[in-house]
Amino acid sequence: MNMVVDLNADLGEGSGHDDELLGIVTSASIACGFHAGDAGTMRRAIETARDCNVAVGAHPSLFDRQNFGRKESAVTPDEVFDAVTYQLGIFQAIAETAGVRPNHVKPHGALYNMAVRDEALADAIGRAIAKNDAHLILFAPDGSALARGGEKHGLQIAREIFADRNYLGTGWLVPRSRPDALLHDPVEAAERVVRMLREGKVRSVDGTDVDVRGESICVHGDTPGAVEFARELRSRLEQEGVTIRAPEHR
């Protein structure tokens, strides 16, 4: 395949294998303290990514450390705007001290899932990013409210697909509350990603094919076997002739 794609991991969340992942991936979305991490973990992750030539981005969340930012809650667009603005400001300041310019923003967990569906929340995220730094690329699923919210505010979108998660027939991810939410076989996951890139389709848990498009492939850093997933995926993509690099601002 004559294609360029990013391999991304969510890091700074205390998984214990960030350094190994940073030797494999091309971009890292780093927790900003609301669901995991703190100033020290942000600094260490940013500096290590810098030394590994890995692009970094902010991974803002709802304020929910108890549930790792994965429990949906009733929030207003203003609350989302403030939360994203706050986390981006901290992340940008720490990155600056490390001599790094952040490349992207990827909302985390429940905030991401809610903004994929909710135009008002997506607009708040896009507005917060644009007011902070319109150079930042927003990671979002193709055709989602989150992607539209970013585009409305002039942001570049990197369309995201998931290597370690199953899809519903609706085109969205199987909720983590279900036992079939995660893929467990890295070889199967790599084969599925190759099909997503080659054909623009993924087989859902309902048995139907779903249209997908991706410029960034996510491996969650806290998924069991994340390092093996990322290593197998990178190896398979390189065998297919895919160029693996972080998204670049157009």
pLDDT digits (tens, 9 = 90+) for 52-107: 999 999 999 999 999 999 999 999 999 999 999 999 999 999 999 999 999 999 99
Q: Mark residue 237 as left, alpha or beta (left: phi above 0; alpha: psi -120 to 50; beta: remaining).
A: alpha
> CA torsion sign, 49 to 54 to 58 to 63?
negative
Structure tokens at 197: 């890139």
Q: Which residues are bridge partners to 26 per DSSP?
A: none
Average pLDDT over residues 188-214: 95
What is d(CA 95, CA 150) in angstroms, rounded to the nearest whole number? 22
pLDDT at res. 250: 84
What is d(CA 177, CA 173) in angstroms, rounded to the nearest whole number? 11
Q: Are 215 and 248 in contact (CB under 8 A)?
A: no
Structure tokens at 195: 């099909």
CATH of region 4-244, choose from 3.30.1130.10, 3.40.50.2300, 1.20.120.1200, 3.20.20.370: 3.20.20.370
